[in-house]
Chain A
Amino acid sequence: AQSVSQHNHHVILSEAASLELGCNYSYGGTVNLFWYVQYPGQHLQLLLKYFSGDPLVKGIKGFEAEFIKSKFSFNLRKPSVQWSDTAEYFCAALWPGGSQGNLIFGKGTKLSVKP
């Protein structure tokens, strides 16, 4: 079955530290990949997405992610985090060829940034 794995449940960083959150997806052909952020009490907000082309994707708020097909990975990175990045981050995948369009989400990674 198609699945998405996020290995880190909770990450705690100090401001200005670099961030990398892991995401792996199961094999299943052509895949679209997404990172969503959910700030406390708010809805899911799209950070970035990968459909095709350049595997290094730049998103909002200084985030980027790299699609590595050989590793089935789509890790999220940010060179220098801020306290305002404290949120939960969800990786999601969509297999457009076979599915009816439903996103498969990972369990999420909670990021806490200490000021």
Chain B
Amino acid sequence: EPEVTQTPSHQVTQMGQEVILRCVPISNHLYFYWYRQILGQKVEFLVSFYNNEISEKSEIFDDQFSVERPDGSNFTLKIRSTKLEDSAMYFCASSEVRQDIGFYGYTFGSGTRLTVV
């Protein structure tokens, strides 16, 4: 079964540093997403990406965050200057769209645990 791959699985960074989280979505999917789960809290939507641009973003996704599809396979989330409160599990997801049923095949990656110290 196709998978969404995320690297690294765990990253520790110092406050104020930039981090890039990487994702390889399923190859025939066109919609890509980042979600965040702070320990003990619910999974929250950050941003969706389609056709090389952001299609929707949440209030959490402020100027510190950016996303990019640098090549045909990777989808990255960059946090410019990390804060302690950015410590969380970050999940990448991808999906396709079918005319008859809408968004389909929604698949999550295994997550990157980001720890900001």
Which residues of A approach B to under 8 Å, CB–CB? Answer: 30, 32, 34, 36, 42-44, 46, 51-52, 90, 92, 94, 96-97, 99-108
Contact = CB atoms under 8 A, between A and B. Distances in A.
B27 interface: no
A52 B101 contact: yes
B48 A101 contact: yes
B41 A107 contact: yes
Determine the main DSSP class of B at the interface with A.
strand
Nearest to A43: B110
B42 A105 contact: yes
Contacts of A90: 42-43
A107 B43 CA distance: 7
Interface of B: 31, 33, 35, 41-45, 48, 50, 55-56, 58, 91, 93, 95, 97, 101-104, 106-111
Nearest to A99: B56
Contacts of B41: 107
A108 B102 CA distance: 25
A90 B108 CA distance: 13
Contacts of B48: 100-102
Q: Could you tell me the dominant secondary structure of chain A's interface residues?
A: loop
Given A90-B42, A101-B48, A105-B44, A32 B102 contact: yes
Contacts of A34: 106
Given A101-B48, A105-B44, A96 B91 contact: no
Given A51-B101, A90-B42, A90-B43, A103 B110 contact: no
A101 B108 contact: no
A103 B108 CA distance: 11
A100 B46 CA distance: 12
Contacts of B93: 103
B43 A96 contact: no
Given A51-B101, A101-B97, A107-B42, A43 B108 contact: yes
